[in-house]
Amino acid sequence: MLTAIVYRLYPSPSQQRGLNTTLETCRHWYNRCLAERKDTYEQEAHTVGKYAQLRQVKTYKATNPSAGPVHSHVLQTVVSDLDKAFQAFFRRVNAGEAPGYPCFKGRHRFKSFGFKEYGNGFKVDGRRLKVSGIGRLAVRWHRHVPGQMKTLRLTRKAGKWYAVCTCEVAPEPMPPTGLGVGIDVGLSSLLTTSDGEHVAHPAWYRTAQHRVRVAQRGVARRKKGGANRRKAVVVLQRKHARIANQRRDFLYKLSHRLLTRYDHIAVEDLHIRNMVQNHHLSKSILDAGWGLFAAHLARKAANAGREVVFINPAYTSKTCHRCGQIVGHLPLSQRVFRCACGHVADRDENAACNILRLGQSRWERT
């Protein structure tokens, strides 16, 4: 399995200039490739592919003084990034959605560049990371690199630089526990398990959101294009980054706890649920975090020899877990589930039990 680890970088002022210049060169190259694709399609009605553009890297380097010193893998990665943007665009068009055409990138809209092979453009040199064209960067190695480093991406985020390293790691199966669980995502609790455990919405979330709103006003009050606005934007970006960090930390720890305890986990497929558009769920931590959580849970489960199944949540909260009867009307404010058969349970627990039952029928088949 490939895993990505993010390390904080501490570039010197001259290295920072180098990083920013490389980023600018990549941005120009990106926009140029995008323009080429767009123009040839509009004027000659044929598409320029990824490989045709990869072949141009050499000439671009030779003819463009700012691109000359940049490692060719960096410019090739830019071409791949653009190609990915197009693939995502066409995938969404084919799926009948209304995606935006890949954009030209403004100065503050281009954030990273990458290398694709360890030892070719970057390598670990003692305690530092040696990067072609930049120098030996100081890194905070907050944890060991868990396997062979494959690729590297240098990213600028809220005024700071990070190295994203992808590594090949071996699976680490967890000892089996023989337990399965169903999980309901909800309004009064973030998660409720079929074992009756409630995980509350973290208290910091609303405070953090308030701070974001304050910083947002700081940006709105400043003149467009001004230096002070630029500074206020960085402050805002830091607040957003902090929320994202806290959310990630919280959800990763939660998924680790679940995977340690259970062999099989059944969760709602919230893609389906989002189509139902439940307004009451907005502002919950899962608004932006669910995709992250589900993907992380599934990925870690695969590496740990656990199973995660996604369940269509239709009727899971309205069905009686004991007799299978569907109750007619159940407003969200009603927190206790009562059935004619006499079954009384916490609303979310009842739903979690239904999700577990649907999950069981899936994993017992395999």
Q: Smaller CB distance to Zn ion: residue 238 or 322?
A: 322
For CA atoms 64, 65, 66, 71, the dihedral sign is positive
Of 211 and 357, CB closest to Zn ion: 357
Contacts of 313 by beta carbon, 8 Å cutoff, 6+ apart? 268, 269, 270, 272, 273, 351, 355
Q: What is the full DSSP assignment across 13-52?
A: HHHHHHHHHHHHHHHHHHHHHHHHHHHHHHHHS----HHH
The single residue of 83, 263, 307, 348 carrying the catalytic annotation is 348
- Whether 172 is catalytic is no
Shortest distance, position 342 Cβ to Zn ion, whole Å: 7
CA distance 304 to 301: 5
Shortest spacing between CB 337 and Zn ion, in angstroms? 9
Is 348 designated active site?
yes
**How many Å apart are CA 78 and CA 72, to the nearest integer?**
10
> Is the CB of 77 or the CB of 354 nearer to Zn ion?
354
Q: Is 36 a catalytic residue?
A: no
Looking at 184, 263, 307, 349, which residue is catalytic? 184
Residues in binding contact with Zn ion, number by CB under 5 A: 7
**Shortest Å distance, C-beta 183 to Zn ion:** 22
Site string for Zn ion, 304-323 (x = CB under 5 A): ----------------x-xx
Strand stretches in the chain, DSSP E:
2-10, 112-115, 122-125, 128-131, 135-140, 148-157, 160-168, 180-185, 191-193, 198-199, 264-268, 307-311, 336-338, 344-346
3-state secondary structure of 332: coil
Least distance (Å) between residue 321 CB and Zn ion: 8
CA neighbor of 154 nearest in space, from 119, 98, 110: 110
The nearer residue to Zn ion, 13 or 342, going by C-beta atoms, is 342
Name which of residues 325 to 364 contact Zn ion (CB under 5 A): 325, 339, 341, 343
Contact set for Zn ion, span 144-173 (CB under 5 A): none
Between 220 and 341, name the residue whose CB sits nearer to Zn ion: 341
CB closer to Zn ion, 169 vs 327: 327
- Rounded to a whole number of angstroms, the minimum distance from the CB of residue 353 to Zn ion is 12
Catalytic residue (choose from 81, 83, 263, 268): 268
- Per-position x/- string for 257-296, each x denoting binding to Zn ion as judged by CB under 5 A, each - no binding: ----------------------------------------
Q: How distant, in Å, are the alpha carbons of 36, 69, 247, 320 from that of 62?
A: 18, 10, 45, 71
CA pair distance 31, 36, nearest whole angstrom: 9
CA dist 208 → 156, 205, 247 (Å): 22, 5, 11
The nearest distance, CB 193 to Zn ion, in angstroms, is 21
Where on the chain is the footprint of Zn ion (CB under 5 A)? 320, 322-323, 325, 339, 341, 343
Q: Which residues are catalytic?
A: 184, 268, 348
